[in-house]
Amino acid sequence: MSKGRSIALKLLIGLVIAASSNILISYWYDTPKLSQLKRNNQHLEMEYDILMEKVRSAEGRLLEIKHRDQFVYRPLLGIDTLDIPQVYAEYNDSRYKDLGAGEYEEDIINGWKSIDVLMRNVYYASRSLDDTQDMAEKKEEFSTVIPAIWPIDRTKLRSVSSLFGMRKHPRYGYWKMHEGVDLAAPKGTPVYATGNAVVTIAGWKPGYGQVIELNHGFGYKTRYGHLSKMYISKGDSVTRGQVIGEVGNTGVSSGSHLHYEVRFRDNTINPVHYFNKDISPESYMELMKQLDETTQK
């Protein structure tokens, strides 16, 4: 073998040994560049964990705010829970398809999904609290319009002749929903507006006879049926306690009485729930006793 070929062979063997050594060293020991990459990955993983912990913490705070809004503020103000169906609609998976690939793809997508849910809940909470604040600012006005007094003088009340709920109709004989209460009183007994309102109906309505409907705002309406006289007209503004008519026996009625309804967002509510707003505890208990006796007849 020539001297030149011998040197080349030695160099080749040296290179092979060096490369093999480098591979073995890289396998067992990190290079400076690889060590830096690992440190960067560890730092990113730590930041991701911190971010997701902040998201979970924010979600918890939002749940507390939502609970207070739904079960404290809104019941105090007498308003329904805000309904925004779009808040609960999930985004299509195509929204996240270009967010990443590889080892951390699942973490990245789950992180974005969590942030999207958080932002929708923030939007809902913001809208709901704005709604609640607006109602709170109108609380003084609300207190004047909500039906909160008796529609007739209780000293003129003979009996609560028919309750709210299903009953056997006194004229037709079949079971039918009774959407108010019947307050038996002498013909001509004054009928009062139970809250500030605007008159939306003042005339004849089948079944009701001569009837008045008041729109109190904030979703509330009241109706006063079977009247003998009406003292107001459609479009008039009335105040709580104002005489708007007289008890009568018009329409489908079996005796002199006032048919009184309370409606909230076009759904009827038991008016008895509003009778205790200007009544002593003793008088309220007496009313409940009378209602029990009426039910048992």
Dist CA 131 CA 150 (whole Å): 30
H/E element, 200: strand 197-205
Whether the per-residue pLDDT at 276 is higher than 90: the answer is: no
Whether the per-residue pLDDT at 182 is higher than 70: the answer is: yes
Q: Which long-range contacts (CB under 8 A, 24 or more apart) does 271-279 make?
A: 271/147, 271/164, 271/180, 271/181, 272/163, 272/164, 272/181, 274/146, 274/147, 274/148, 274/194, 275/150, 277/148, 277/149, 278/148, 278/149, 278/150, 279/150
The pLDDT confidence band at residue 77, using thresholds 50, 70 and 90, is low
127 vs 104: which has the higher pLDDT: 127
The pLDDT confidence band at residue 230, using thresholds 50, 70 and 90, is very high
The pLDDT confidence band at residue 233, using thresholds 50, 70 and 90, is very high
Q: Identify the pLDDT of residue 256.
A: 93
Q: Is the pTM of this model over 0.75?
A: no
Q: Identify the pLDDT of residue 261.
A: 94
Whether the per-residue pLDDT at 264 is higher than 90: the answer is: no
Query: Mean pLDDT over residues 233-251, rounded?
Result: 95
